[in-house]
Amino acid sequence: MGIAQQAADRAERESIRKRWLLSAPALLIIFFAAIGPLAVVVLYSFMVKGDYGDVKYWQFSLDGWFNVLFERDMFDDTLGPAWANINIFWRSLKLSFITTVAALFFGFPTAYFIATRRPEKRDLWLFLITIPFWTNILIRTFAMQEVIRNEGIVNSALMGLGLIDKPIQIMFTDWAILFGMVYVYLPLMVLPLYASMEKLDFRLVEAGYDLYANRFQVLRRVIIPLVKPGIVAGCILVFIPSLGAYVIPRVLGGGKNMMLGNLIDLQFGQGRNWPLGSALSITLMIIVTLALLVYVRNTSKGGGHGHV
């Protein structure tokens, strides 16, 4: 028995060793392509900024993290909040949240419409939803610019109908960024919602009507609880890229309505403050991680069943 157990243990160790060897290439790629650069950014956030960019190696400082929310007056060295950074944080969170809500508002009925079509028709509708992914985000953003600029489609149509006398200033405002992000990220909401609704047993919906529930009650107590994982997944898929958006605020915001992605780029570029840029990058990653934890917490509970 002892010899058999030793042979089994030896075979198990050999199997583990082979699995590690087979996984080694992928683990090395993950380390050098993801964990390694991330470790460098974390390290830079605790260093002293260089005079012309870069950092002063092995001179550690907490100034990068301190300057995320605070700053010192250049004249009297008094300490105060970094209102510029705080406003950008607030704008990023606000616009990302509103974008997520708007995408859910438009994406939910779209996904429900597709899920209730005949199976042979669904592929066509999904094909139409995924067409924007074939185009680079920069091109899609410039397309939105042509729609909302002063001489664009929206203002020309409103003036042609006599509803306004002069163009409405939409470009270079938070509204322009919001419209652009909803347009770009809407498919990311529709697809997970459709994936959940496709599995929905519509006999439960019919049962709700048989129990004298109105449409709103069926929606609130049957459909939404059953497709909750899709709602949470769609919200995460929209919120995270919206929070770190760079191209859309840069083009539609005109550079003055910055979001976190633009602020980080500014610190690594013109600002030449790599420790602050690194600290802002890690802060953004922490916010994204918290959003993912919310998603995991909701999905780990399992899908509940609605009640009428």
CB within 8 Å of 287: residues ≥ 6 apart: 93, 243
d(CA 247, CA 262): 8
**Residue-range definition of the domain harbouring residue 10:** 2-80
pLDDT of residue 308: 38
Same structural domain, 13 and 111: no
pLDDT tens digits for range 5-61: 777 888 888 888 888 888 888 888 888 888 888 899 999 999 999 888 889 888 999
Of 58-72, 83-97, 112-126, 289-303, the least confident:
289-303
Q: Classify burial at 263, counting beta carbons within 10 Å of its beta carbon; exposed 0-12, middle 13-18, buried 19 or more.
A: buried
pLDDT of residue 53: 80
Same structural domain, 102 and 76: no
pLDDT tens digits for range 261-308: 999 999 998 889 999 999 999 999 998 888 888 777 766 665 444 443
Q: What is the DSSP string of 122-139?
A: HHHHHHHHHGGGGS-HHH
Domain boundary, last residue among 80, 98, 131: 80
Q: What is the pTM of this model?
A: 0.85
Same structural domain, 75 and 209: no
Same structural domain, 76 and 86: no
CB atoms within 10 A of CB 37: 11
- Total domains in the chain come to 2
Same structural domain, 267 and 131: yes
pLDDT of residue 109: 95
- Residue 277 exposure: Cα atoms within 13 Å on the Cβ side: 21
Same structural domain, 117 and 222: yes
Residue 239 in contact with residue 100, Cβ under 8 Å? Answer: yes
pLDDT of residue 262: 93
Same structural domain, 184 and 240: yes
Same structural domain, 253 and 137: yes
- What DSSP element (H or E) covers 159? helix 153-160
